Amino acid sequence: MEGIAFSASKNFNIYSKIHANPTPLPIKTPTLTRIPFRFHNHQKQPLLSFSLDPTKSTQTPITQPPPLLVVGSANADIYVEIDRLPTEGETISAKNGQTLAGGKGANQATCGAQLSYPTYFLGQVGDDAHGKLITQALGNRGVRLEYLKSLGGGVPTGHAVVMLQSDGQNSIIIVGGANMSSWPDKLSDQDLDLVKKAGIVLLQREIPDFVNIQVAKAARSAGVTVIMDAGGMDAPIPEELLNFVDIFSPNESELGRLTGMPTENFEQISQAAEKCHKMGVKQVLVKLGAKGSALFIEGDEPIRQTIIPAAQVVDTTGAGDTFTASFAVALVEGKSKKECLRFAAAAASLCVQVKGAIPGMPDRKSVLNLLQSE
């Protein structure tokens, strides 16, 4: 017998914990015996393995892959659907509006879990309705939430106003809330130990730089790869942080702002990526929108990937997060860089066909089916 599968429950969690979190959690679980886990790629059910030898009283360990750890933001995305952006001083009516879970960190964590890879999220939400919305959305999709903290004291959950136009393009205004407030000056030993046991750590710029620096340093000390998405605050990135990043992932405009160089064509993008190399980042993964993506590794020729066309573009929110997280999953699974780019392109193509960042995150089967059809 290979194992016994149990259905997921939001009140009972049989995944093994790397560390217990002393902070009160949004989803509480009873005290459990620590049980090794693994994922079944198709049904995504956790499996328990027991020894069939009656002389043994202990469980037979199952080798588990090092998890993907996402450290970052969680937002309530307030969507308004409009035909066009308002001009200065103009009031326009929206066709529709709704609130969905989002934020770059939450998006990327959801993507990892949707792709059937064990994924932890380390972040903060407020003790409010938006925080509960995010916690439920991530938990329902299989994200491990032991390290998601709920803040009291009236600190609100971060949120964003997403102005979604009819062609699928969007403009976003972010309110930091719990993402930017009340982080400890020094992360706990439990948090940092999780970082050191990860397979890959994903960062973004919607939480304070000093938090990202602590995480990146801890990861480097343990030989854990750090991928940093450049999205988030529009401010210079500290050199101290870049020095501990293995793969830096901006889009064209973010690359241009960071380097102060034009990025209108591939030659200019290559030159800007070369400047990033001189700033200390050896690998630059650039998201090029409709022109695909490219990975610039210092000393090597760029690896380019075209887009995999979507049947229809409904909403581009979260496409970049899907791309970055999918690349990370493929990389931690041992795929080549070229295969990682193609896997990420397929995931992003599926994401843009659904409204909402987290609702649009594809599962592994859908990604593999799309790749096989190409």
The DSSP code for 199 is S
133 pLDDT higher than 90: yes
Average pLDDT over residues 337-365: 94
pLDDT band at 35 (very low <50, low <70, confident <90, very high): very low
Task: Specify the pLDDT at position 71.
Answer: 98
Task: Specify the pLDDT at position 276.
Answer: 96
The whole-angstrom separation of Cα 12 and Cα 275 is 49
Task: Specify the pLDDT at position 306.
Answer: 96
| Of 43-47, 108-112, 370-374, the least confident | 43-47
The whole-angstrom separation of Cα 303 and Cα 310 is 22
Task: Specify the pLDDT at position 41.
Answer: 42
The whole-angstrom separation of Cα 62 and Cα 47 is 9
Pairing of strands 303-305, 293-297: antiparallel
What tokens appear for 51 in the block? 């020894």
Task: Specify the pLDDT at position 53.
Answer: 45
Pairing of strands 119-126, 47-48: unpaired
What tokens appear for 135 in the block? 């916690």
String of DSSP letters for 83-98: SSPPPTT-----SEEE
The whole-angstrom separation of Cα 321 and Cα 75 is 14
pLDDT band at 167 (very low <50, low <70, confident <90, very high): confident
The whole-angstrom separation of Cα 53 and Cα 42 is 29
Give which of 328, 330, 293, 354 is closest to 71, Cα–Cα.
328
> Across the chain, what does the average pLDDT equal?
85
Q: How far is CA 178 from CA 133, 241, 255, 264, 330, in A?
A: 14, 22, 27, 36, 30
365 pLDDT higher than 70: yes
Task: Specify the pLDDT at position 62.
Answer: 45
Task: Specify the pLDDT at position 337.
Answer: 97
Kindly report whether the global pTM for this prediction surpasses the value 0.75: yes
Task: Specify the pLDDT at position 285.
Answer: 98
CB 25 within 8 A of CB 148: yes
Task: Specify the pLDDT at position 104.
Answer: 94
**For residue 136, is it left (φ>0), alpha (ψ between -120 and 50) or beta?**
alpha
Backbone angles phi, psi at 233, to 5 degrees: -65, 140
Task: Specify the pLDDT at position 63.
Answer: 62
271 pLDDT higher than 80: yes
DSSP-H helix ranges across the chain = 104-114, 129-140, 189-196, 209-221, 239-242, 252-259, 266-278, 319-332, 337-351, 364-373
Task: Specify the pLDDT at position 166.
Answer: 84
CB 115 within 8 A of CB 363: yes
Residue keyed to tokens 């942080």: 241
Task: Please give the residue that has the higher pLDDT: either 287 or 42.
Answer: 287
45 pLDDT higher than 80: no
What tokens appear for 342 in the block? 């193609």
Q: How far is CA 350 from CA 67, 179, 234, 296, 309, in A?
A: 24, 28, 28, 25, 9
Average pLDDT over residues 161-177: 87
Give which of 147, 81, 84, 72 is closest to 111, Cα–Cα.
72
| Of 6-10, 135-139, 163-167, 317-321, the least confident | 6-10
CB 346 within 8 A of CB 308: yes
- Show which residues are catalytic: 321
String of DSSP letters for 164-181: EETTS-EEEEEE-GGGTS
Task: Please give the residue that has the higher pLDDT: either 93 or 26.
Answer: 93
4 pLDDT higher than 80: no
56 pLDDT higher than 80: no
168 pLDDT higher than 90: no
The whole-angstrom separation of Cα 296 and Cα 213 is 23
pLDDT band at 268 (very low <50, low <70, confident <90, very high): very high
Backbone angles phi, psi at 370, to 5 degrees: -65, -40
Task: Specify the pLDDT at position 57.
Answer: 41
237 pLDDT higher than 90: yes
